[in-house]
Amino acid sequence: MKDIAALKLFTRVARLGSFSAAGRENGMSQPQVSRMVAELEQELGARLLSRTTRAVVPTEAGKAFLLRIEAILAALDEAGQSVREGGEFHGMLRLSMPTSFGIHVAIPRLADF
């Protein structure tokens, strides 16, 4: 999960343009975020972010990686959510319908639901 955390941090830094802002969102210090992104860059063998004193912007490689990784992270989040919820709906469901429809159509089908 450490790799996924680094990928998520990279996406937030790239979108926010700031290591500090991404750190605040994730309860981390700016050096921690910077170190994790640097480790990710080293692992990939590519510079993903261009750092200046005024801004942090994705490089061309970083932009391409960002587009691909955001879709993958969204799919991972969706998969995790479906497992945590067991693929079932939770909570209260309120329906409003004519009484005759409820008696003849809805109520007989509630047991299956």
| pLDDT tens, residue by residue, 26-77 | 999 999 999 999 999 999 999 999 998 888 999 999 999 999 999 999 999 8
β-strand partners of 51: 56
Tell me phi and psi for residue 42, to 5 degrees.
Answer: -65, -40
Q: Which two tokens stand for residue 98?
A: 């004519």
3-state secondary structure of 57: strand
CATH of segment(s) 2-84: 1.10.10.10
Q: What is the pLDDT of residues 81-107, one digit of tens each?
A: 877 766 566 667 777 888 888 888 888
Amino acid at 111: A
